[in-house]
Amino acid sequence: MTVQYAMDEGSITLPAGYTDRTVNIFVQEPLTDGLSNLQVARDTARHDETLDEYVDRQIGLLKRKIKGLSIKSRETVVLAGCDADGIEIETRYNSNGKSVYQRQCAILLANGKALIFTATNTVPFTSAQLAIWRRMIDTFIPA
């Protein structure tokens, strides 16, 4: 069995057993005072894993990989575009002596796949940037 995989640039046929783990990175060019980037990552939740359990597990993995990772906030949000629950976290850590600030929102799709939206900044997010973040993730509509 094969799977036809579509992407913006075209499509390819994959043998059975391949899973999409791609990451899309969207950057603002030219850079203004908006969000400099938005990443969309794909993952697979464990069998019968809830969204809370998935996020707990991922935070544990991140804390093991990123020394000094601090979870500043965690809240359940509803994405307006698809009326789906997500969990949004705000994190901070240091990389090469510089602060890194992130907003992440994870959602589980009906097929057990997870989507993780991430915005990264080198300074705390402004209220205008947070409004852009909210507008972007609220537009997600599942296929």
Q: What CATH number does the domain containing 76 carry? A: 3.40.1000.10
Burial 98-111 (b: 16+ CB within 10 A, else e): eebbbbbbbbbeee
Asked if residue 107 belongs to a domain, the reply is yes
Asked if residue 94 belongs to a domain, the reply is yes
Asked if residue 45 belongs to a domain, the reply is yes
pLDDT at residue number 106 = 98
How many Cβ atoms are within 10 Å of 129's Cβ, its own excluded? 19
Asked if residue 27 belongs to a domain, the reply is yes
Q: Contact, 117 vs 110, CB < 8 A? A: no
Asked if residue 40 belongs to a domain, the reply is yes
- Whether the ω angle into residue 30 lies within 30 degrees of 0, i.e. cis, is yes
Q: Contact, 5 vs 19, CB < 8 A? A: no
Confidence of residue 31 (pLDDT cuts 50, 70, 90): confident
Name the domain count of the chain.
Answer: 1
Asked if residue 5 belongs to a domain, the reply is no
- What end-to-end distance do the CA atoms of the chain give, in Å? 22
Confidence of residue 2 (pLDDT cuts 50, 70, 90): confident
Confidence of residue 80 (pLDDT cuts 50, 70, 90): confident
Asked if residue 1 belongs to a domain, the reply is no
Arithmetic mean of pLDDT, 55-83: 94
- Backbone dihedral region of 13: left (phi > 0), alpha (psi from -120 to 50 degrees) or beta? beta
CB-facing half-sphere around the CA of 115: CA atoms within 13 A = 18
pLDDT at residue number 24 = 92
Name the residue range of residue 88's domain. 20-138
Confidence of residue 36 (pLDDT cuts 50, 70, 90): confident
pLDDT at residue number 117 = 96
pTM, two decimals, is 0.89
Asked if residue 9 belongs to a domain, the reply is no
pLDDT at residue number 9 = 84
